Structure 1
């Protein structure tokens, strides 16, 4: 693997920058020469200044430094979620098998997430494994989460249900929202945190419905309306509309809910086979259960 200096040199040359443009005010020309040859190291503060001058993010730099590959744990998590959305349980099982015996915390987190996704595909509750317990303890040990913890934290919800600690759901949501606010900026969402919020709200909405906590489920509509739609990716907007549609099926206008669902399904049907099997599965289940709810509660 190249040194940091050698990678900086490669990027500088690709972009056509001179050493003066990149290193002026950061280091001397002689030091820059040794740095680019891998002979000198620099502080993180100086590296960040250099990356700013190169107009490249730290994440992209790390990607290039790793020979244009993501960190293995990140790649495994991405593959896991892609397999889950496609209901490819065989691939999910392979990824879980690859990671669950690892001593590395990042791999254990992937294993725990995979185990939860697999078991919740079949059941609303499950036996909490040691990997899940470890992830639970790690996340609850701190009030402050980085992006990595935020992107894992929503799986605390089904763990809480399976541990019969539903009373902690509100605490999990509070922590999640508070930590997300640290990354959401007034006019920008550089880390796509709005998508993470919408993903959490979709999981929370379904759990509240499963637990027959209908008043809490009703309140989630207000939460998703507070998320700036302009900050959402296409997937986040889809989830926002799915929550809205299911909310209408249960608590509002069934006609409006079905009309919105028809639009969502029409978009999904543009692809054959469907890309997001979970969307269609959620719609199928919620249409049936919403009818039962409306009948039992005499919702007009």
Structure 2
């Protein structure tokens, strides 16, 4: 939980970095003494007044809380960090441990948050074992996601890391929600990156399932969204997946050219683990053509 003291400390840090006095920022909205107390964490402040102060700082609330939240990862974010690390290291024992902890907490409390976490972890496990998740468990995830009107970071994390377990039909409906719910996500850069990343993940799943029409549909949508030049990873993944699509569609020469161009770019950046993983996918697809 973010405390008032932390908010005040960050506010003061930003104010001083802009060389603004307490009086400059307080304006006509509140007294200098009150603002000083807020910066010291001694007084709370209403949201309306806080927004006015941010306006005087020329800082958006998204920017302020983006900076503030960097050191406040949610429980789900902390869990997914541990799970992702174990998955990348092929550490099935660690994944089973995390799964057992979450399912145990669910059985003890009945809190479905733990159940959703456990199923999410299981989706990582089956990627290593080749097994499948039961339909009942997958329905828990999809029912939960369909039942949420306004997705937050938690729902995005669960969805993004459970895609491989979700049916093609349900996945397509959920991805459309991501693409077209502009009221929820807005159009700032960080939200655009989330949207593009989730659609890219879905394209990868569609290609694995040989759902080429759906893969092409969302490749075109990504193209229309126009990936910013600063999104290097997303631009690489788009070109790589587009190449795989053309290979699977029978236009092998075109596909190989795009894939090898993408691999060349990532090779130049020196991201070795990503390069090895994508080269392995590429070699397996070429091998399946023989």
Q: TM-score, normalised by structure 2?
A: 0.75
Q: For 2:87 and 2:262, locate their aligned partners in 1 and report how far apart those are by CA, in whole Å.
A: 19
Q: 2:177 is matched with which residue? A: 175
Q: CA deviation at 1:18?
A: 1.5
Unaligned runs of 5+ in 2: none
* 57, 68, 74: which one aligns with 1:61: 68
User: What SS is found at the alignment partner of 1:42?
Assistant: coil
What is the match of residue 31 of structure 2?
28
Quote the Cα distance in structure 1 between the aligned partners of 2:66 and 2:113.
Answer: 17
Shift of 1:275: 3.9
Q: How many residues align?
A: 278
- Correspondence for 1:139: 145
Q: 1:197 to 1:128 in 2, by over 3 A?
A: same
Q: Which residue of 2 aligns with 1:297?
A: none
What RMSD over aligned residues (CA atoms) do the two structures have, in Å?
A: 3.6
Q: Is the 8 A contact 1:85 1:276 kept in 2?
A: no
Distance 1:239 1:209 in 2: 13
User: 2:237 corresponds to which residue?
Assistant: 239
- Structure 1 distance, partners of 2:98, 2:135, is 19
Match of 1:258 in 2: 256
Q: 1:160 aligns with which of 147, 158, 166?
A: 166
Cα deviation digits, residues 61-97 of structure 1 (max 9, x gap): 244xxxx453443244345445545655566556555
Task: Indicate the structure with greater helix content.
Answer: 2
Tell me how far apart the structure 2 counterparts of residues 107 and 21 of structure 1 sit (CA, whole Å).
48
Partners of 2:149 and 2:233 in 1: CA distance: 28
SS in 2 for 1:57: helix
> Tell me, what secondary structure is at the counterpart of 1:226?
helix
Aligned partner of 1:205 in structure 2 is 203
Q: How big is the shift at 1:152?
A: 3.4
Structure 1 residue 146: deviation in Å?
3.1
| Distance in 2 separating the partners of 1:25 and 1:94 | 56
Return the structure number with greater relative CO, CA threshold 8 A, min gap 6.
1
- TM-score normalized by structure 1? 0.73
Distance 2:55 2:83 in 1: 33
Instruction: Specify whether residues 92 and 272 from structure 1 end up closer, same or farther in structure 2 by C-alpha distance, changes over 3 A only.
Output: farther
* Conservation of the 8 A alpha-carbon contact between 1:19 and 1:32: yes
Counterpart of 1:285 in structure 2 is 284
Residue in structure 2 matched with residue 298 of structure 1 by the alignment: none
The answer to whether the Cα contact below 8 Å between 2:160 and 2:198 also exists between their aligned partners in 1 is: yes
- Offset, 1:58: 1.2
Q: Check conservation: 1:205, 1:217, Cα contact below 8 A.
A: yes
